[in-house]
Chain A
């Protein structure tokens, strides 16, 4: 990699991180916009699209650290979700993975990351799992396990929509940039 390419890559990463952080500032004010930003921010991360593993990792870590330091832990957790989805989108694009498999991988990443976030938040709040059981039965579910199963299916459907929109958005932006 020449000096010019290296500088261009680093500057592009910095600018795209700045765009993402600016959008996170909006999420800091209106937290509910995460629903929309799930369709946008992973694409912005995928655009860093470094063909160099070290810089992809560095860009993601820098973004997460800056999100936590500027906006706090809640936004930092969302930053982790966006970075991971963006990484999977970027890697599947670099490796020329077929479209349907790409969507499947991104939506699977989405489900796993969102479940990990829920588990982390439950641990953070020190919620006892045994106390949650009657709560699900009160809502009309046969058991906690069936509620969790329905939740995962719902997440997967949401993940497919997120993956599809991010993939299309990525293609549109690449068309303007190239």
Chain B
């Protein structure tokens, strides 16, 4: 089995949204998360889905799965709005619309935000820095290690396939058990080796990270922050 990646990880572009600071994007993410979760009307959901899809297309970070989801959710929400369906079906469609909106929102955030931006921000936290160091360390090491785990999983699958003399199918529970035990044990051994290397090279959790990000213009970013909230506030105001 080969694993193709459809995960909306960071996509490198030089767009307006890519250049916005991490704080701005996480604030918008949290605000629209709340708006989507607490909204039960279909038209504003449809508008939000179309708006998010537009931004995904505009910043060239949209993938095929997101296109299909947008079309499917749009068609369902329009049908539910203009046909008289049972209340149960209408509620189900609204729920599906919310899930699609959340997926597009999370996709827009993750494809335009470098994971390193989060922990570079935390490293500038001043007197709160020491409290954040375990968070920063965990976040950065996890994200750095993740791609290697994917390759490790593929190698373990290939090794088990060779050992068994046939390709591993999804129903071969015993083979998957072996692969996963191998993966986890290897990860723990690699963690031990990495920790030894860190200690031997003098790394200490008592010292912070060197800040690499330059702070931008606060005034303009504050205006963009408030501007980003306006569509959500308009939707809430119009449809509540």
Contacts and interface: CB of A to CB of B under 8 A. Distances in A.
Interface in A68-114: 68-74
A135 interface: yes
A18 B205 contact: no
B138 interface: yes
Contacts of B86: 131
B158 to A, nearest CB: 16
B149 A18 contact: yes
A21 B176 contact: no
Interface string B156-198: 0000000000000000010011001101110111111011001
B204 A12 contact: no
B141 A11 contact: yes
A160 interface: no
Residue among B9, B99, B142 having the largest count of chain A Cβ atoms under 10 Å: B142
Interface stretch (B56-64, B76-84, B106-114, B221-229): B106-114
Interface stretch (B88-96, B122-130, B211-219): B88-96
A3 B199 CA distance: 8
A132 B205 CA distance: 54
Contacts of B143: 18, 66
Given A7-B199, A15-B145, A25-B5, A73 B106 contact: yes
Contacts of A21: 142, 146, 149
Contacts of A68: 106
Interface residues of A, number: 53
Contacts of A18: 141-143, 145-146, 148-149, 187
Interface in B5-24: 5-9
B68 interface: no
A11 B191 contact: yes
A8 interface: yes
A128 B94 contact: no
Contacts of B5: 25
A90 B232 CA distance: 42
A70 B149 contact: no
Contacts of B177: 169
A19 B138 CA distance: 13
A62 B139 contact: yes
21 contacts: A7-B198, A10-B134, A12-B188, A12-B191, A15-B145, A15-B188, A16-B187, A19-B149, A25-B3, A40-B180, A55-B134, A69-B109, A69-B110, A70-B106, A73-B102, A125-B94, A131-B87, A131-B88, A132-B88, A172-B181, A177-B185
Interface of B: 3-9, 37, 40, 86-88, 91-92, 94-96, 98-99, 102-103, 106-107, 109-110, 134-135, 137-139, 141-143, 145-146, 148-150, 153, 173, 176-177, 180-181, 183-185, 187-192, 194-195, 198-199, 203-205
